[in-house]
Structure 1
Amino acid sequence: MIARSTEVIVALDRELQPPLYAKRGLALVRGEGIWLWDADGRRYLDLMSNYGVNILGHAHPRVTAAIIEQASRLLSCHQSFASDVRAAFLERLLAVAPAGLTRAFLSNSGTEAVEAALKFAWAATGRRRIVAARRGYHGRTLGALAATAEKKYREPFAGLLAEAEHVPYGDIGTLTAALDEHTAAVILEPVQGESGIYPAPDEYLRAARELTRQAGALLIFDEVQTAFRTGAWFACQHAGVTPDLLCVAKGLANGVPIGATLMTEEIAAALPAGVHGSTFGGNPLACAAGLATLETLAVDSLIPHSADVGAHFLRRLRELEHPAVREVRGRGLMLGIELKSRSTPVLKAMQERGLLALPAGTVVVRLLPPLIITREQVDEAVAGIAAALDAA
């Protein structure tokens, strides 16, 4: 491939795509571990892992080897046929899932995993109404968008979406009042990500479990962003709660597109044959990458590591006591810095200093680093964040 400058690549990127994304003005061409490089050779500390995807960092040797080996054998295998690597991946995934989740539908993304969960809830209950949380984000296809609360995503499609009621996150009383005989499911993120990193109180998740049982509705946890990142395999395990359906994607294959909707035996038994499907879902390449990712998380003890280093990161950020910061919150390596003004100037100042992070809402800097980050790299990141806060 002909080498091109950042300027040329960025210009082509803008010219050849519809204007759907807020562009960062960077052309990333290479990654290794926790580092990324742009087309001009500048290095960046990755504190975003591609929206939480690259949990093992970039070009991880185990995942790379698994991809190369599987690509040389078989790339595609429809789920009407069994696959050796798919079977091994499902065994590994369900072994670490919350107790009681014993089946999995495989797809290609987080939105697809949520879309499947909603369809399965409708099919299993015969009901159509969804209860979701304000500030929640569950994807942008029409089914998942019904559960997503943010108006900017919903308004262009008003009148097309499934019936959904949005209640305050963490409020047991309003959740109780929202449930009735028409409710198919409640869908919640154990930690709200897109809106600003808001961990749910454990008692709220436990109440949601009990209330849905009483109402004959299903409980769906959207762990697309939270899985593996909060110091447990799944964030709902902190509260000891097993949902009826659990959605996971993003970090599941460390960058190879994959989604999974985990479910109980009861839900699986209630689904009519052919109610849903996916041509590319569960393909051998994605499953090989997913298996290598899950094995690495276990062998390298990255779940307890994320709890330890995440607590260090949270403490160091709070110790800054910077006047521009309103609050620092999060769980494990899913952290948010809420500012007293818009986050964009701080994100730009961080990027200028070689740190890449994300917005969440309008005033929160979202930190989703690879789980391989060390305490020393955290300290380097905190120093850069402090400098960016001073400069913004």
Structure 2
Amino acid sequence: MEFGQFNVNALMEITQRPDLVFVRGQGSWLEDHAGKRYLDFIQGWAVNCLGHCPPEIVQAVQKQSQLLLNPSPAFYNLPSIELATRLTGASCFDRVFFANSGAEANEGAIKLARKWGQVHKQGAFKIVTFDHSFHGRTLATMSASGKPGWSTIFAPQVDGFPKADLNDLSSVEALIDDQTVAIMLEPVQGEGGVIPATTEFMQALRKLADERKLLLIVDEVQTGMGRTGTMFAYEQAGVRPDIMTLGKGIGGGAPLAAMLAREEICVFKHGDQGGTYNGNPLMTAIGAAVFDALAAPGFLEGVRERGEHLSRGLLALAAKWGMPGERGNGLLRALIMDRDDGPAIVDRARALAPHGLLLNAPRGNLLRFMPALNVTTGEIDAMLEQLDGIITGMRK
């Protein structure tokens, strides 16, 4: 395919992309090859937690790139130690394994849980996961995911991931047997449609895991690093997980992820886990800069305030058009619509002139909003006004 001066045929075809090439970004805005600007409420699928090209990341890259890029994970490096210390200090975990993507972090969590099962539960290996969950695109994490249709794409699946129903404790209990080692869930199912696990359900899972000697794993690839208004979403449920995974926001746009665990869960032997780029100083220096921005006084309070502002705006829009409503936590939210207009709205929003709007529709009747955590209330209001205009045009 060719458009303008671009020939994109050298890129493998894995998804349908619109005929535009982004060339620069700043904050909540992107600019394409033709000079058109777009208000971005996707932000790389909740990746750019500080927006596009934030000064904190630019400065961290400039400084660290002149010092050390990658001595290999066979040696200690200072930025990885500094970021690990920040993460353990802000959470209930004791150890960190750095990776390059959320899928890789979840793969590590699965491996750690299975190794723990070998050591402590006579080889138990099954991990109860949930329908409509999303844990990544490796073979194991696709098997762990409950995304419809994924069970046959690269069959056979990796065995050992029975699926329960979110917020239904009895469905979890029914799947536990002597081979079960863990329960793994997203505190908010992002790809599944921004569906939060209730506080009561999270607490019940912790109690059940304790009673049955199981690990509780929280996949916070999308919810972690301030996205839901606290540094980690599990904090809001008042539970203490055994393993947590992070990705997306931890690097603020750079490829960085992490798997954290409590000391007594860390049973890897030397050689069990690794990775050429894992914990390299360039990425972890970026991660430390991102963490410090999120941990600054008042930042997370601002996320909660802007999340409430977005929620009120979406509720008003839903009331105006007779839609069911909205749901989510912090700045991970969804508008639940009364018809399957989502894909059409996404297309019309991108085509708006003079400025486009970038939205996401994980389901036909759902729009998902994942703006930068430092998005302004003015930008939220501008998005809501544009969205209302699109809906008006479609329903005349």
CA distance in 2, matches of 1:322, 1:155: 41
Return the match for 1:163 from 154, 160, 163. Answer: 160
Alignment-mate amino acid for residue 360 of structure 1: P
Q: Deviations over 1:237-290 (max 9, x none)?
A: 10011211100010101111011000000011x222211111101000100100
Q: TM-score, with normalisation over the residues of structure 1?
A: 0.94
Aligned to 1:251: 249
Q: CA deviation at 1:25?
A: 2.8
Q: CA deviation at 1:374?
A: 1.3
Q: Deviations over 1:212-260 (max 9, x none)?
A: 1212221110000001100110111100112111000101011110110
Local SS of the residue matching 2:153: helix
Deviating more after overlay: 135-144 vs 21-30: 21-30
The alignment yields a C-alpha RMSD, in angstroms, of 1.5
- State yes or no: 1:8 paired with 2:4: yes
- State yes or no: 1:173 paired with 2:137: no
Alignment of 1:69-84 (within 5 A): 69-84=63-78
Q: Deviations over 1:319-355 (max 9, x none)?
A: 1224363331111000111222141001111112211
Alignment-mate amino acid for residue 39 of structure 1: H
Q: Deviations over 1:42-76 (max 9, x none)?
A: 11111011111100001111210111111111111
CA distance in 2, matches of 1:147, 1:342: 30
Aligned to 2:55: 61
Aligned to 1:238: 236
Local SS of the residue matching 2:234: helix
Aligned to 2:358: 356
CA distance in 1, matches of 2:232, 2:167: 19
Mapped contact 1:180–1:215 kept (Cα < 8 A): no
Local SS of the residue matching 1:156: coil
CA distance in 2, matches of 1:22, 1:215: 45
Q: TM-score, with normalisation over the residues of structure 2?
A: 0.93
Alignment of 1:128-147 (within 5 A): 128-147=125-144
Deviating more after overlay: 123-132 vs 298-307: 298-307
- State yes or no: 1:204 paired with 2:201: yes
Return the match for 1:374 from 352, 373, 376. Answer: 376
CA distance in 1, matches of 2:73, 2:369: 36
Local SS of the residue matching 1:287: helix
Q: Give the number of equivalent residue pairs.
A: 382
Local SS of the residue matching 1:164: coil
CA distance in 2, matches of 1:257, 1:391: 39
Alignment-mate amino acid for residue 115 of structure 2: A
Alignment-mate amino acid for residue 368 of structure 1: M
Q: CA deviation at 1:151?
A: 3.0
Q: CA deviation at 1:162?
A: 2.2
Q: Deviations over 1:344-371 (max 9, x none)?
A: 0011111122111112133211110000
Mapped contact 1:349–1:391 kept (Cα < 8 A): no
- State yes or no: 1:281 paired with 2:278: yes
Q: CA deviation at 1:150?
A: 1.4
- Unaligned runs of 5+ residues in structure 2 are 119-123
Mapped contact 2:143–2:150 kept (Cα < 8 A): no
CA distance in 2, matches of 1:27, 1:204: 43
Mapped contact 2:162–2:175 kept (Cα < 8 A): yes
Alignment of 1:1-392 (within 5 A): 7-8=3-4, 12-13=7-8, 15-97=9-91, 99=92, 101-126=93-118, 127-227=124-224, 228-268=226-266, 270-299=267-296, 301-320=298-317, 321-323=319-321, 325-339=323-337, 340-353=339-352, 354-392=356-394
Mapped contact 2:132–2:148 kept (Cα < 8 A): no
CA distance in 2, matches of 1:83, 1:284: 6
Q: Deviations over 1:162-187 (max 9, x none)?
A: 22111111101111222222112111
Q: CA deviation at 1:12?
A: 2.4
Q: CA deviation at 1:86?
A: 1.1
CA distance in 2, matches of 1:365, 1:250: 19
Residues 324/285 of structure 1: CA separation in 2 closer, same or farther (3 Å cut)? farther
Mapped contact 1:37–1:44 kept (Cα < 8 A): yes
Mapped contact 2:140–2:157 kept (Cα < 8 A): no
Mapped contact 1:181–1:215 kept (Cα < 8 A): no
Mapped contact 2:251–2:257 kept (Cα < 8 A): no
Fraction of identical pairs, as percent: 32
